[in-house]
Amino acid sequence: MGAQLRVYKRRIRSVTATKKITKAMEMIAASRVVKAQRKVAASTPYAQELTRAVTAVGTGSNTKHPLTTQAETVTRSAVLLLTSDRGLAGAFNSNAIKAAEQLTERLERAGRQVETYIVGRRGLAHYNFRERKVAESWTGFTDEPTYADAKKVAAPLIEAIETDTADGGVDEIHIVFTEFVSMMTQTALDDRLLPLSLDEVAQEASPQGEILPLYDFEPSSEDVLDALLPRYVESRIYNALLQSAASKHAATRRAMKSATDNAGELIETLSRLANAARQAEITQEISEIVGGASALADATAGSDY
């Protein structure tokens, strides 16, 4: 009994130490997700106005620009996958990776060659372990991304779509990220970044059916597109990075809260088992004392005769 009691006490100490760690991680994630939400809200007005500007240029001109014109035959596609550098976030990374793999499978079934770009160590480790080719990857900033990070990610993607497919370029760019819906809900999404679908972008920019004004472009609409669309891609990637960061912190908070609650329940269970083992040990000691005293009394009574 004594050995079993020591095992219970040792496990209680171990689980208690783990509970302190998970509780601390829960509190850190809770503070970070609030900051991430503020950044998402702050980036939204800029993204909306830039979307309106891009829509106005794209719909107000007949210029065939590589960033707004769909190729007649799409042969190569780029997929940008956003994951995190760290784990302990429940199904956050696995859901994003699963969505990227499903998108890649759909594109390959359509006869397209897929080039994969990855943000985050978790996604990169998944593809490296399975020996899958990765065109380019970025790590080290997923918890707190900046606009400079978004520009760094967007640069090779814009260069790829501006390059002919015969020279290693791509015809379209897709992005897979986790949208932050609420503290309890985060959804893995895939979306096409380029070429733009002007009808969908126009509806997003003016959902109430507002008629966009007519513009004259100086020096030309093509020059305006050259200047605006890279910024549009950067803003979309930046917003997706912020959404992914907020989703990751929310997922970490939820996972660590669950781990803390489970640790508390396990401590209660182990405490009950330890108390039962201690009670059994005390009962056994009392029984041994009573039995020894009874045997001694019987031996003494026998010697009197």
State whether CATH 1.10.287 applies to domain 2-22+258-298: yes
Mean pLDDT of 161-168: 82
Assess contact for 258 and 188: CB atoms under 8 A. Answer: no
Flag whether pLDDT at 22 surpasses 80: yes
Residue listed under structure tokens 């899958």? 132
The pTM score is 0.80
How many Å apart are CA 61 and CA 240, to the nearest integer? Answer: 28
Structure confidence by residue, pLDDT tens digits, 247-268: 999 889 888 988 898 988 998 8
How many Å apart are CA 82 and CA 242, to the nearest integer? Answer: 10
Residues of the chain within CATH 1.10.287 domain(s) are: 2-22+258-298
Residues of the chain within CATH 3.40.1380.10 domain(s) are: 29-256
Transcribe 74-138 into DSSP letters: --EEEEEEE--S---STTHHHHHHHHHHHHHHHHHHTT-EEEEEEESHHHHHHHHHTT---SEEE
Q: Largest alpha-carbon pair distance within the chain?
A: 128
Instruction: Kindly report the CATH class assigned to 29-256.
Output: alpha beta
Flag whether pLDDT at 200 surpasses 60: no
Percent of the chain past pLDDT 90, that is, above it, reads 24
Structure tokens at 223: 């020059």
Mean pLDDT of 139-150: 91
Nearest-5° Cα angle at 139, 91 to 188: 30
Flag whether pLDDT at 304 surpasses 60: no
In terms of pLDDT, which residue wins out, 109 or 196?
109
Flag whether pLDDT at 29 surpasses 70: yes
Q: What is the DSSP letter of 215?
A: -
Structure tokens at 67: 């960033």
Segment (H or E) for 176: strand 172-180
Predicted confidence band of residue 65 (pLDDT cuts 50, 70, 90):
low
Residue listed under structure tokens 């006490």? 9
